[in-house]
Chain A
Amino acid sequence: MIDDSKPIFMQIAELIENGIVDGSMAEESQVPSTNEFAAFHRINPATAAKGVNLLVDSGILYKRRGIGMFVATGARAQVIARRTEEFFEQYVKPLALEARKLGISAEQLNTMIERSSGLAPESGTDKERSAAL
C-alpha cells in the first residue's frame, strides 16, 4: 500500500482521506491512533504522526485531548472539493489538451466520457464529482 513515489506521511494522509471520501471513516468518528497506523502499515510512528498532523492542520481531523483523533464535521466536503480541483488539474486539463491536438470537439469528448462512464458502474462519488464540476 505504501510505495516509494512520495513521502510516507503524505501517503498516510491520503489513505485517511480516502476513508473519509468513501465513507468508511464517518464524520465525528474516531480514527485509529498514530501507533495503530504505524503498526498496521509497518512504518515509523513519527511518520504516521506527521501524516495525521497534516490533516489536523488542514482541519480535516481534530484532537480530543486524552481520547484521540476524530474526523471533523464537513471534512468529507472539504476533501472532495480539494480533490475535485486536483482532478481538474491532473486529468481534465491534459485530457482537453490532448483532445485539442487530435481535433476532438467538446461534443465528441462529452460523448466519449458518457460512453466510458457506461463501462463503469456509477457510484455516488462519481455523481458528486461530476456535479461539482
Chain B
Amino acid sequence: MNDTIVEARNLFKHYKELNALDNVNLSLTANRIYGLLGRNGAGKTTLMSILTAQAFASSGEALVFGASAYENDSVLSRICFIRESQKYPDDFQPQHAFRSAALFYKNWDQEFADRLAEDFQLPVKRRIKKLSRGQLSAVGVIIGLASRAELTFFDEPYLGLDAVARQLFYDRLVEDYAEYPRTIILSSHLIDEVANLLEHVVVIDRGRIIMDADAEDIRGSAVTVSGSADKVDAFLAGRKILHRETLGSLASVTVDEALDSRERTEAQELGLELSPVSLQQLVVRKTMAGAAATGTGTGDFADDTMEARR
C-alpha cells in the first residue's frame, strides 16, 4: 500500500516578478492525510493546481498516479480539488453541484452528502451566488468529502466557517477517512486546528519546501527553554537555535532539537523551565528563521505567532 501517488520533480513556476514555486521536489504515498502548510501566498494553491493540471508549471515534472494529470482522464477521474475560490455555474444551487459531482466520481456517496449538508445547515436549494462565505466553503467541503476520490485536496476549506462547523469538518474527515482510507491533502494556515489529524507535514514557504516530515517525528522535536538569560544561554550553547526572546534578565529560547531525559533533569536542576513547541509554533519559527536568513519581511504570520502563544 505504500506506493507513491504524487511525485513532483524540480517544479518551478515563475510569474512576472515572483517565483511561486522554486524547485519543489515532493513524493507522497497513498492513504495518508497530508498537511500542506504555509503562509498565504507561499505557493500552496499553485502547487496543488499544477499537480491536478489546473495550472501549468514553468518547468519540471508533476506526476500523479504515475502520469501527468493533464488531459488524462484515467488520472483525473481519481482526483478531486475544489479550490478555495471555486467558481460555480451562475444559476447552480448546492444540490446541482452535488449532482454534478455524482456524475464524475464513481465513489460518490449521495447519502453522505445529504447528511453533511444537514450537519452544515447548508441551504441546498439556494443559488450558490447568494450563499455566505462559510456556506460556500461548506459546498466545497461536501464535494471533497462525498466524492471519496482517491486523491482529495482541501484548499483552506475552513474560510468563513465558524468554530463549530470547522470542528464538524475535521470530525467527519477523520471518521470517513478511517472507514474509506484515501490520500487527503489538507492545505491550511490554521495549523493548530489540523495538527493532530495529519500523518505527514509539508511546509512550503516562498515557493520552497522547508519541512517534509512525519507529524509524529516533528512532535517533541523542538523545545522552548526559559529562565534567567545567562543560564539559558549556557545550557543551550552550541545548539541549533530557532528563536530567542528576552525580557529583562529572562530569556526564552526555542531550539530545533529534542532533549533526552538526562538533559531534561539537568535543565530542571538549573531551574530552567521546559515547554513543548506546537507544530504551529515550530512552523512559524522555521518560516521566520528562513525569512530572516534571506532578509525578507515576516508579514502576516506575526498574528499567528501571537495566536500560537495565547
Interface residues, chain A, CB within 8 Å of chain B? 2-9, 34-35, 38-39, 41-47, 50, 94
Contacts and interface: CB of A to CB of B under 8 A. Distances in A.
B274 to A, nearest CB: 9
Contacts of B216: 7-9, 47, 50
Contacts of A7: 216-217, 219-220
Interface of B: 32-33, 170-171, 174-175, 177-179, 181, 195-199, 215-217, 219-220, 265, 268, 276-279
Q: Is the interface of A mostly helix, strand, loop or mixed?
A: helix
A94 B262 CA distance: 12
B201 to A, nearest CB: 11
A39 B276 contact: no
A5 B32 CA distance: 23
Nearest to A93: B265
A128 B174 CA distance: 39
Contacts of B171: 39, 42
A42 B276 contact: no
Contacts of B219: 4, 6-8
A4 B215 contact: no
A54 to B, nearest CB: 12
A41 B220 contact: no
B31 to A, nearest CB: 8
B174 A47 contact: no
Contacts of A6: 219-220, 276
A58 to B, nearest CB: 18
Contact of A4 (B33, B175, B278): B278
Q: Most B CB atoms within 10 A — which of A2, A42, A44, A47?
A: A44
Nearest to A43: B196
Contacts of B196: 2, 8, 41-44, 47
Given A9-B216, A47-B199, A42 B265 contact: no
Contacts of B170: 42
Given A44-B215, A46-B32, A46-B199, A4 B276 contact: yes
Given A35-B175, A39-B175, 12 more contacts: A4-B220, A4-B278, A7-B217, A38-B178, A39-B178, A42-B171, A43-B196, A44-B197, A44-B199, A46-B32, A50-B216, A94-B268
Contacts of B32: 46
28 contacts: A4-B195, A4-B219, A4-B220, A4-B276, A4-B278, A4-B279, A6-B219, A6-B220, A6-B276, A7-B220, A8-B215, A8-B216, A38-B178, A39-B174, A39-B178, A41-B196, A42-B174, A43-B197, A44-B174, A44-B196, A44-B215, A45-B174, A45-B177, A45-B178, A45-B181, A46-B32, A46-B199, A94-B268
